[in-house]
Each structure stands twice: as C-alpha cells, then as structure tokens.
Amino acid sequence: MTLLKHGKLQELAEEVAKTQIEILALQEVRWPGKGQINKKDYLFYYSGTKEKIGQAGTGFLLMKKIQKYIINFELHNERLCKLSSMMTYSLRLIRFQRAT
C-alpha cells in the first residue's frame, strides 16, 4: 500500500484501529516535507524529502487513546524520526530507514 494515493492514510488508520496496535512505525511514506496530521481517531507524524515526492519518508501513526502520553516528536530527515512518550515508563521509538 502506498500513502501517495488519496484516502490511503485513512484506510490504513481504519485497518490499524481493528487491531490492538496503538503505535505503528512506517517507512516509505513518500510524502514531501515534515509535519503532522491530526484526525478524530489518529495522529500521524511524518518526515519526508524536501524536494521529491514519491521517495523515502518515515513516520508514526498513533491511535488517539495514547496521544496524551506523547511528550516529544523529532523530525530529523526523510530517513530518521524519533517519538518519545511517558506512560508508566519512559519509551523512545526511533524509526530509521537505511538508504537503498
């Protein structure tokens, strides 16, 4: 599945909502720039290339019920981002994609 097609992020979020997954690390997001999308049921952080659409990119899809535990999100580049949370313990997730 590619997130480049309209509606695919919503489709992915709906499928994840059917499971017990609360945080999903993604690679090959293929969106340009960096940012976040805040929807009713999920939050999506992404980091992509500056100029090219359709290449590289990483991100995290978070279900809303854990959003309150997120304390930091660092967007480094199209291959590296870090998510920090504070639940009953400290949790740091790093999403790295090696160059191909």
Question: CA–CA separation, 64 vs 49, rounded Å?
Answer: 26
Overall average pLDDT of the 38-64 stretch: 85
Q: What pLDDT band is residue 14 in, cutting at 50, 70 and 90? A: very high
Q: Calculate the average pLDDT of the chain.
A: 82
Question: CA–CA separation, 100 vs 95, rounded Å?
Answer: 16
Give me the pLDDT at residue 43, please.
92
Q: What pLDDT band is residue 27 in, cutting at 50, 70 and 90? A: confident
Overall average pLDDT of the 31-57 stretch: 85
To the question of pTM greater than 0.85 for the whole model, the response is no
